[in-house]
Structures are given as C-alpha cells and as structure tokens.
Amino acid sequence: MGSGGRCMRPTDLKDRIAFDLKDVHEVLQTSTLLLFVLGTMAPASEYPRKLDQILDASDIEYLKKFFHTQVETEWERNEGLAKARGLPKPRRSLEYYTLLRQLQGKPRDASLERIISKLYAVIEKQFGPGFVIVHDFWSWRTAQNVPAEFIHHDPDFWATGHHDGFNLWILLDHKNMAHSFDIFLEQDNPELYRIVKNKAGRLLPEKSGARLTECPGVLFWDPLSWWPVLYEWPYTRTLAMVMGVALNKFWQKSQNCIMYLKQRLPTWSFRCVLGLTGWLFRLTPLPAGLVLKTQRFGLEVGDALVLRQYELHTTDQDPLQDHQFRLAVGVKVVRQGPIVQYCYTGPASRIRRNYPCLRWGLGQVLPDFYRCELDMEPYPETWLTRFLFSATAEKALGDSGAKVFGEEPEPPSREDDGRLPVALRLKHGKEHSRLNWVGMPLARDIPLKMVPDYEHGNPMFAE
C-alpha cells in the first residue's frame, strides 16, 4: 500500500470481513422479514388509520337514539327473561344486523338510508369501488362490559378469499374514553405476523408468570370450510347446526385441555405435545421471548377507525370508573367476489344464518344486502333449533358468554324458586316447580276469598 495507507494484518482483515458479513446478514434478515410482512398484508397495509368526521351531528344523534331505544332495550328484555328463567345474566356482547333489520322495515327509514349512502360514498372515495358492507355491529364498553375480550381476527373477511377487507369503527359517544380498542400492529409485532401470514385466527395469550417468556401464547386457527354451505339450504340447516355444535364443543374441549397442559407441563414438554397434536386441534404455540405489543388510537366523536383485515385486535380491558363508557357502531366491508369458504365459529355468521334472505351461496357472488330490498323474516323456530342455537355459544373460542367479568349467576329471587333445594323451598301450589315468572304477579298462588255481590256496600258487613 502507499505511504498514506495503513497495512492491515491478515487476522484483522478476516475479523473485519466476518463482522461486515454479519451486519449484512442481519440487515438482509430484517429487511426480508419486513418485506414479507408488508408484502403479505398489502394492499390493506396502505389503508389510512382513521377517517375524520364521516358522520355529522344529526347522524350521530340518530344512531345514539337508535342504540338506546332498540339495542339497549333488547338487552334489558333478554336480561329480564334470563333472570325469570333462572339462567345466568346474558352478556352485552357485540350486536349484529340491527341496522340492516331497521333498514328493511316498512316504511323505509330515510335517516338510516342517508347514513348508509354516506358510508358507501366514503368507502368508494377512500378505498375504491367493488366493496360491500357485510354486516353492522355495536360496541358498548363500560366498567361492567367488555364486548370482545379475546384477541381475534374477524373470519368473515376470508369468505371471498380476498385479503383487503376492513372495518369502519365509528365513535358515537364516550365519557373519558376518546380512543379505540387495542390493535396488534404489524410493525410492532413482525414475528407474530410472520407466523400468522394470511390466516384467520385467535390468540390465547399467557397472562403472567415465568411462562410468559417461555411460551407467550397459543394461536388457534379459525376453521374455514366448505361444509357450512349446509347452513345455507333450508332442508340441511338443522343437520349443519348439529355438526356445528359438535365441532364447537370439540374446539372448546381441546383448547381447555391444551391450556390446562400448558400450566401443568414443562414448556419443552408442552411444545412437544403441540408438535404432535397441534395439527388436529388447529393450535400453534408462539416462540419463546416474543413480546406482544398493542396500540390504541385517539378519536373524536364522528371519526372512524380503520381496522385492517389482517390485524389481530381485542377490546381494551383497563379497569374503568363507573361513569366511564364508550359507544361505537361499525360496519364490516369486504371486496365483492364469489364465496369460497365459510366460518361457523363466529357470532356474526351465527346471527346471519337465522334469515333465509341473508344466505351466501357457495360459488355465488357475495350479495350487497344494504343496497337492496329484503324480507327479514327469520326461519321458523322449533325447540330443536332453539336448543342448537343456544348451544353454539362462542364461549369455547374465547368468549366468556355465560358470565360477565366472572360474576356468579344471580341467586334465586323468590322463596319458592325451583332452583332452591327442596328443604329450603316454600310451597304454594304450583309455584313449587315454576321457573318462568314472565307476566306472573308477585303474590303467592293461593285461593282468593270469594265475596258475594250483596256484601258490596252493605253497612251490615262493614268491619
């Protein structure tokens, strides 16, 4: 080398080359991972995070009034029926298709039609043509209510095989809760989305303890299949409901068993068990040391959060004060195309299958229900379909269902309630076995004193 240069020894040169190659390898590895994630999630990854003021004050007031007079009233009625029948208090979870049922009423609701037209105009302007609203839903968050406490995807997005769907989640009202729910962003969780890829699933996380780093959680892959087309045909609907109950119970029991083993077995042994049985139970453990991060976004009333199809999300579960609440309405938007598969574990699909007019035919183009006239008459209900419908609870797949925040079922409110032990029950005629108190007076069922007509108004018989 020239006099201005420095002669490098062979060992120094070797170390320097090794160091440079290591840096290049790390950069390439990180770049490849990010490109894989972004390439897999595109084009939804380019969507804006929120849309400002897509509804005006009159639209918001209409929707708030609709919620309180329709949705909340229905919740209270169901809670009263459950209490009268001696059942646990039903949970105020997400409500689906209430706006569609109102939209299809007679006479037509002009205010709601205007709101739906606005939403379609925003969708086409921001995301392009070819999208349809699949369903509407309500989100009501209070100190006592978490609408969706499990970490999940929305499997209905995958019905047409596209990967560019999204939710518009519109904030309507709140008290000290001007923010969204929790979202697992891909830039904060690249390793998680490398595992998830384009599949729909739910995450069963480890809450705390040493196992939080050894195995942060287990992914359950939503079973998207062809066979639920049996739900779409009236003459095979009951058979499909039987199959759905059996499979939901299987997923429930398998998850409960695996999560029990997760707490009992050493982590290496648990991973071996899932390595052998995960394909059957549709479960995949997360790698050790993976740190899951969530993020919330500030919103103002009238703003719409855009949740991208591939994003895992969950309702925020921070402890709240009694006065805090948050009300939002949302719509699920999917690119129109032929139906290629069905979900039978999600609550929205479960509600949709109650209406013949909302059928999705396999291989047929996804209908645009919100811009056509429909007859929203549900299927006739029988004791068998009623039982099967109630048995298809989402409790097994992450939804607590039977309890609210771990509350015990409410105790019997009458001394002659049939749920009480016989020794503790007071018997007054048929009340000994009655469970349904809807429309019944609170007085005991005992004979009344018969007063002859001539005694009325006669001073002789006055006491």
SS (H, E, C) 106-150: CCCCHHHHHHHHHHHHHHHHHHCCCEEEEEEEEEEEECCCCCCCC
Residue type, 262: K
- Residue carrying structure tokens 């195995």: 215
pLDDT for position 4: 42
For 238-351, strand residue ranges (E) read 283-285, 304-308, 313-314, 325-335, 342-343
pLDDT in tens, 64-73: 999 999 998 8
Distances (CA, A) of 223 to 74, 282, 345: 31, 8, 8
pLDDT of 36 reads 42
Burial class (CB in 10 A: 0-12, 13-18, 19+), 385: middle
Residue 59 per-residue DSSP state: H
| The pLDDT value given to residue 461 | 45
What pLDDT score does 211 carry? Answer: 82
Task: Determine the pLDDT at residue 451.
Answer: 52
Q: Which CATH number fits domain 47-397: 1.20.1300, 1.10.260, 3.30.70, 2.60.120?
A: 2.60.120
**What are residue 330's phi and psi, to 5 degrees?**
-140, 160
Q: What is the pLDDT of residues 129-168, one digit of tens each?
A: 999 999 999 999 999 888 888 899 999 999 999 999 999 9
pLDDT of residue 142: 92
Residue that is written with structure tokens 């429909």 in the block: 374
- Axis-axis angle for helices 237-264, 267-281 (nearest 10): 170
Sign of the Cα pseudo-torsion (308, 309, 312, 313, in order): positive
326 beta partners: 141, 174
Nearest C-alpha neighbor of 296 from the set 311, 286, 281: 311
DSSP string, 336-361: --BB--EESSSHHHHHHTT-GGG---
Which residues of the chain fall short of a pLDDT of 50?
1-41, 394-413, 419, 425, 427-432, 443-447, 455, 460-463
Q: Kindly report the pTM of this predicted structure.
A: 0.76
Longest Cα separation, the chain: 139
The gap from C-alpha 256 to its chain's centroid, in whole angstroms, comes to 19
